[in-house]
Amino acid sequence: MRRDATGWAIVGLTLIAGGCADPLSVDSTQALHEQIVTANRRQVQAVEGAPTTEPPTDKSEMYLETDAKRVKQLDDISGPKVYLSEKLDLGKPLDASETKSVTLSLQQAVRKVVANNLDVQLAQLAPAISQAQVAAAEAVFDAVFFTEFNYANVDQPRPASIVNGFTVGTNSTVQNTADLSTGIRKPLETGGRLEVSTGFDYVNNKTPNFAQTPDPAWTSNITLGLSQPLLRNFGTYVNRSQIMLSRNAHRNDILELHNTLLAAASQVEQAYWNLVLVRRQLAIQQRLLQMTVDTRDTIFARAEFDVNPVQKAQAQAFVEARRYDVIRTAAIVRNASDSLKRLINDPELPVADETLIVPADDPVELPLKYNLLDEVTAALRHRPEVRQALLQIDDASIRQRVADNQRLPLLALSAQVAYEGLDDDLRGSGDRMTDANFISYLLGAQFEAPIGNRAAEADFQRTRLQRQQTVLTYRNTAQGVVLEVKQALRDLVTSWRLITVNRSSRRAAAENLRALLEREERGEALTPEFLLDLKLSTQQRLADAETRELQSVIDYNNAIVRLRQATGTLLEHNKINMQWPVDMFADE
């Protein structure tokens, strides 16, 4: 019952409160919610009631495995574990020095890749960049302090009026003027603007035959102004939309970092197991080479008895072919070590250095218990791609609401009140201003409505369709994630079953070789045909069976890695926890 409740909990994660509560399109938003909830409900319902189980262990049909003593005997002479203490011949390093090595556990490798991997370091920069972009978007509403000062020395001619033959006025204007305005301007989240300013105007008249009082004239003022749109561009949601989009971009970069970490951890684990694989393959091939050399020496010792030159050449050809495999695999081991070093990017283990990494951990050979419902639920909850798809829906919803608002007419109101005072000095004008004897008011309105409004309607239609696209993208992403989980589980089950099959095959090959060696010890005729056609081919079949068993064990461990990556829990299994921002999932 508890597992079912956990499965349904994923439905709640799909509801984005901040981006989907649109009073202008309630029906559309409700339909959006229902599509997302339905998409997840279908995935969860499809696996409800799935039991916790483990990969089935196929019962071997090999008659030898009914005898525990014989099984132990065969496992003592064959199988991947026989080669654990095998000393590997890797040839000379490229720098012609002595081969050096360093032992590394799987958890150490994963921690190093998280700390040092270059792809991870690049991904870590993106959230810091987008965080700065969030701060820049929020700064749009920061108050601005301003100061404006102008000074003018006016000496300009002008026409004079003549009334009844007499000249009225003067033929020039001569004066000194200055004005200062300083204050604070604050954009409002509602879309308006508030401005408070104070300053003065100064006029010193020097015009001939013209006088004014007071002279000089100082006019001090305090002005308070407010402008506010009421339809288009109104409201905190519209005006904070860029901030919300920037925050989503920041969250998306963090999720992309999480995705990069998952990929890097998966790559390093699979590279680690690949190194284990090729090292043990080399050990198998080295032992096969040694057995082939021993058989060749036996054939050469009978050269004067019953071995002809063609058979000697055949025996030597077997040796050289297996020596070729050893040399090639030794190079593959060094390449695998370098590939692992490049992933972990440890300053103490540069790629150019010829030090070899020696894995300290053995692959897991125990059945992993799993529950399909739990795995699907974990994937839908933890996979960064799913959360990123939800952010895309949120972004599209924000843009649709803004586009919806832009369809409205423009209606804006403005108001201003000013207190002024006049005197022949600055201080006196300030005192008169505070008496509040001169107060000016201004009220204004602006209205604008595009005829047809085609551009805004088209933009709204575009954003509405884009939001539908993001919902389909989310559903597609969720299906892809579920598919990855099922494929990873199926690979896990298949590789586990193949371990049993390949182990039985290896034991059969070992029994075949053991029987041949017994015949050899009993003194049966060691003909060239026996040695060439039977013994060497039996040794090869055993080596091939050992390699297949080893490959299936490594495949099983890689399947576990891919399953944990598919569910988004690979980091947690390696005891690495993401430090999420406090408001990272506030809208879920």
Distance in angstroms (rounded) separating the CA atoms of residues 372 and 378: 10
Q: Render the burial of 373-412: b for 16+ CB within 10 Å, e for the rest.
A: bbbbbbbbbbbbbbbbbbbbbbbbbbbbbbbbbbbbebbb
Distance in angstroms (rounded) separating the CA atoms of residues 399 and 391: 12
Q: Which two tokens stand for residue 492?
A: 């896990």
Sign of CA dihedral 267, 273, 277, 283: positive
Strand positions, DSSP E, 158-305: 161-163, 166-168, 172-187, 193-205, 217-229
Q: Any residues with CB less than 8 A from the CB of 569 and at least 6 apart, and which? A: 378, 382
Residues 542/585, Cβ–Cβ less than 8 Å: no
Distance in angstroms (rounded) separating the CA atoms of residues 459 and 454: 8
Distance in angstroms (rounded) separating the CA atoms of residues 25 and 464: 10
Count other C-beta atoms under 10 Å from residue 10's C-beta. 21
Residue linked to tokens 């820049």:
136
Strand positions, DSSP E, 43-164: 101-104, 144-157, 161-163
Strand positions, DSSP E, 339-432: 356-359, 410-423
Q: Render the burial of 125-140: b for 16+ CB within 10 Å, e for the rest.
A: ebbeebbebbeebeee
Q: Which two tokens stand for residue 394?
A: 């949120």
Looking at residue 5, its pLDDT comes to: 38
Count other C-beta atoms under 10 Å from residue 327's C-beta. 16
Strand partners, 447: 411
pLDDT digits (tens, 9 = 90+) for 335-392: 999 999 999 999 998 999 889 999 999 999 888 988 888 899 899 889 999 999 999 9
Three-class DSSP category at 117: coil
Which residue type does 316 have? Q
**Predicted structure pTM score:** 0.81
Three-class DSSP category at 296: helix
Looking at residue 13, its pLDDT comes to: 33
Residues of the chain by 3-state class (helix, strand, coil), percent to 5 = 60, 15, 25
Which residue type does 496 have? W
Distances (CA, A) of 302 to 88, 291, 307, 518, 528: 31, 17, 6, 20, 9
**Dihedral (Cα; 286, 287, 292, 298), 10-degree rounding:** 130
Q: Which two tokens stand for residue 153?
A: 């020395």
pLDDT 10s digit of each residue in the chain, 588 long? 334 433 333 333 333 333 333 333 444 555 665 666 666 666 666 666 667 777 777 666 556 666 778 888 888 888 877 887 778 888 888 877 788 889 999 999 999 999 999 999 999 999 999 999 999 999 999 999 999 999 999 888 877 777 776 766 677 888 899 999 999 999 999 999 999 999 999 999 888 877 888 889 999 999 999 999 999 999 999 999 999 999 999 999 999 999 999 999 999 999 999 999 999 999 999 999 998 898 888 878 777 777 788 878 888 898 999 999 999 999 999 999 999 999 999 999 899 988 999 999 999 988 898 888 889 989 988 999 999 999 999 999 999 999 999 999 999 999 999 999 998 888 888 888 888 889 999 999 999 999 999 999 999 999 999 999 998 999 899 999 999 999 999 999 999 999 988 998 898 888 888 888 887 777 665 666 777 778 888 889 999 999 999 999 999 999 999 999 999 999 999 988 888 777 776 655
Q: Which two tokens stand for residue 568?
A: 């988004």
Q: Which two tokens stand for residue 16?
A: 């984005």
Count other C-beta atoms under 10 Å from residue 163's C-beta. 8
**Residue 143: closest CA among 193, 106, 105:** 193
Residues 178/152, Cβ–Cβ less than 8 Å: yes
Q: Which two tokens stand for residue 239?
A: 């005006």
Looking at residue 514, its pLDDT comes to: 85
Q: Any residues with CB less than 8 A from the CB of 402 and at least 6 apart, and which? A: 238, 241, 463
Length of the chain: 588
Looking at residue 244, its pLDDT comes to: 94
Average pLDDT of the chain? 85
Looking at residue 311, its pLDDT comes to: 78
DSSP state, 526?
Answer: -
Residues 121/378, Cβ–Cβ less than 8 Å: no
Three-class DSSP category at 368: coil
pLDDT digits (tens, 9 = 90+) for 452-472: 999 999 999 999 999 999 989
Three-class DSSP category at 481: helix
Q: Which two tokens stand for residue 327?
A: 């040399």
Distance in angstroms (rounded) separating the CA atoms of residues 471 and 465: 10
Q: Show the domains of the chain with their CATH numbers.
A: 2-134+242-400+457-573 (1.20.1600.10), 142-239+409-456 (no CATH)
Residue linked to tokens 């509040």:
436
